[in-house]
Amino acid sequence: MSEASIGIFDSGMGGLTVMRALMARLPHESFVYLGDTARLPYGTKSGETVTRYAVQAAGTLMRRRVKLVVVACNTASAVALPALDAALAPTPVIGVVEPGAQAAVAAAPDGPIAIIATEGTVNGGAYRRAIHALAPNARVIQQACPLFVPIAEEGLIDSPVTRFTAELYLGKLFADMADRPRTLVLGCTHFPVLKNVIAHVAGPDVILVDSAATTADAVAKLLVERGLASEASKAPRHEFLATDSAERFARVGQIFLGRAIEPASVELVDLQDAG
Amino acid sequence: MSEASIGIFDSGMGGLTVMRALMARLPHESFVYLGDTARLPYGTKSGETVTRYAVQAAGTLMRRRVKLVVVACNTASAVALPALDAALAPTPVIGVVEPGAQAAVAAAPDGPIAIIATEGTVNGGAYRRAIHALAPNARVIQQACPLFVPIAEEGLIDSPVTRFTAELYLGKLFADMADRPRTLVLGCTHFPVLKNVIAHVAGPDVILVDSAATTADAVAKLLVERGLASEASKAPRHEFLATDSAERFARVGQIFLGRAIEPASVELVDLQDAG
């Protein structure tokens, strides 16, 4: 089983920022990444719908005999983790919310901690709960930033559009200067590609927390605990599955993965009939 | 049959701009509007996927015994109309692309005509074909404006974000000053709510064409031709169906419909099992 791949899924391509961190942290592991591009985005959809989609996506990965499933979508991590644990047991499932909360509390044990995320993640309140489980008295403030998702997918890394959108959202978040948060959690896998603009608008005194790196640490630890780590001698495999448009997956995906993806290497799959 | 409702569907809420024009043009008609909010947007998805979703959505409307189906989504009109005609015959189907093309050619018989739309609509080339069927020598230029969709859904009617996004997209379109288009087709049902900013950036010499009004004219004409027009004496019914989150449908939808929508009046439906 230790030679099996690690499964990763996301609503689309944003979760490739998590795959990028996993590849850097675990260079000997093989990965199979599934993006549910026919139904993205998840961030504006209800918890019930996101949970149904997430269980279908994870089921498709399980049929590829993965040893572990990483939920690289904040929205799905925020709302669907209990259903995924139940559906996939005994295969372990790791989301990105808890590692992100740990990193935020490590950076600012007493808060205030600011979270930016999709509407679905903010409304679900999972970051707030995960932070309060570690630091019951930390003040947490949240702001939905839905436009950052398509802006990142358009590759507008450094554009006035991105800057004014950041000012629109972060202006609300940092309005109370007396109790200004010094820690800002990037609670959506799309947001790390906009890090420079977000950091510039937030100001030099604000620490940005990106859950990709801490999620990779959590995965590494779990692999060792369960005796599932791959041998260093094997050449790792990197597979990509998408539910729509391999061409768009490859084109937009490389913004997030930070390396080229060949459209021919992306396999189209249908989740409708997945068990 | 003339007392049956007119069915309207769209990927989400943008098509409510078409319903608004239909209600103004045909005040005695009843309407049932379906927004496939669980799978929106269609504009970034492949033609095959959009066609499958559109046939499922139209099938759900047919089971409500509608007398006519209006495809109030440019992307679905651009790629799925032949499949819808085949699936729904003899019930008539009207899309928004052909009425939009007619209005554009009426405004600028010799071109140049500029089209702004989603990626899916631009890639499908349906506007170009519909315009060339009417005016074979008209020059047509197209520009995908994917960010306008979430910007309209955020209700950013008048924001620097909207203005800089319009400058980004329209700058490309109007770059060639020697042969500058004087007619700009709003080839996505989301775009009419951003009309003021688009008109401002395009300049006072550019005529904006919105297919909602011409689509309403085409529907009115077809109802009379087929003897399907409703009697003036009946009180019209306005029903709303969505595949996800009635609350969000009502909240965002009123931006496009131009009047309040009660969340309780929005019925949730599942298209997965629709015939």
Whether residues A195 and A248 share a domain: the answer is no
Mutation test of the interface with chain B: which of A161, A170, A244, A249, choosing the one with the most B Cβ atoms within 10 A? Answer: A161
The residues, any chain, with a CB within 8 Å of residue A28's CB and separated by 6 or more, are A230, A231, A232, A234, A236
Mean pLDDT of B89-103: 96
- B18-21: long-range contacts at Cβ-Cβ below 8 A with a sequence spacing of 24 or more? B18/B70, B18/B72, B18/B96, B18/B189, B18/B211, B18/B212, B18/B215, B18/B216, B19/B72, B19/B257, B20/B212, B20/B256, B20/B257, B20/B258, B20/B259, B21/B212, B21/B213, B21/B215, B21/B216
Residue B189 confidence (pLDDT)? 93
The tens digit of pLDDT for each residue in B249-272 reads: 999 999 999 999 999 999 999 986
Asked if A147 is an interface residue toward chain B (Cβ–Cβ < 8 A), one would say yes
Which chain A residues contact residue B40 at CB under 8 A?
A: 44
Of B163, B180, B211, the residue that ends a domain is B211
Measured in whole angstroms, the distance separating CA B223 from the mean position of its chain's CA atoms is 19
Mean pLDDT of B82-90: 97
What are the structure tokens assigned to B250, written together? 């009502």
The tens digit of pLDDT for each residue in B13-32 reads: 999 999 999 999 999 999 99
A275 occurs within a structural domain: no
Asked if A150 is an interface residue toward chain B (Cβ–Cβ < 8 A), one would say yes
Whether residues B201 and B146 share a domain: the answer is yes
Catalytic-role residue among B188, B194, B216, B266: B188
Of A191, A211, A231, the residue that ends a domain is A211
Asked if A75 is an interface residue toward chain B (Cβ–Cβ < 8 A), one would say no
Record the pTM.
Answer: 0.90
Mean pLDDT of B222-247: 92
Which chain B residues contact residue A248 at CB under 8 A?
A: 44, 46
Helix axes B195-202, B160-173, angle to 10 degrees: 50
Residue A107 has pLDDT above 60, yes or no: yes
The tens digit of pLDDT for each residue in A151-195 reads: 999 999 989 999 999 999 998 888 776 778 989 999 999 999 999
Which chain A residues contact residue B164 at CB under 8 A?
A: 159-161, 164
Whether residues A140 and A172 share a domain: the answer is yes
Catalytic-role residue among B61, B73, B126, B184: B73
The residues, any chain, with a CB within 8 Å of residue A93's CB and separated by 6 or more, are A58, A68, A69, A70, A71, A81, A84, A85
Of B211, B242, B258, the residue that ends a domain is B211
Whether residues B217 and B91 share a domain: the answer is yes
Whether residues A88 and A218 share a domain: the answer is yes
d(CA A211, CA A189): 8
How high is the ipTM of this complex? 0.87
Mean pLDDT of A213-228: 95
Asked if A159 is an interface residue toward chain B (Cβ–Cβ < 8 A), one would say yes
- Per-residue confidence at A273, pLDDT binned at 50, 70, 90? very low
Residue A130 has pLDDT above 90, yes or no: yes
CB within 8 Å: A147 and B151:
yes
Question: Mean of the per-residue pLDDT values for chain B?
Answer: 93
Omega prior to B263 cis, within 30 of 0: no
Q: Say which CATH number the domain at A107 has.
A: 3.40.50.1860
Residue length, chain A? 275
Residue B179 has pLDDT above 90, yes or no: no
Whether residues B87 and B14 share a domain: the answer is yes
Mean pLDDT of A211-230: 94
Residue B91 has pLDDT above 90, yes or no: yes
Asked if B164 is an interface residue toward chain A (Cβ–Cβ < 8 A), one would say yes
- Closest CB from B40, B161, B272 relative to A272: B272
B273 occurs within a structural domain: no
Residue A272 confidence (pLDDT)? 65
Asked if A220 is an interface residue toward chain B (Cβ–Cβ < 8 A), one would say no
Number of domains, chain A: 2
Residue B274 has pLDDT above 60, yes or no: no
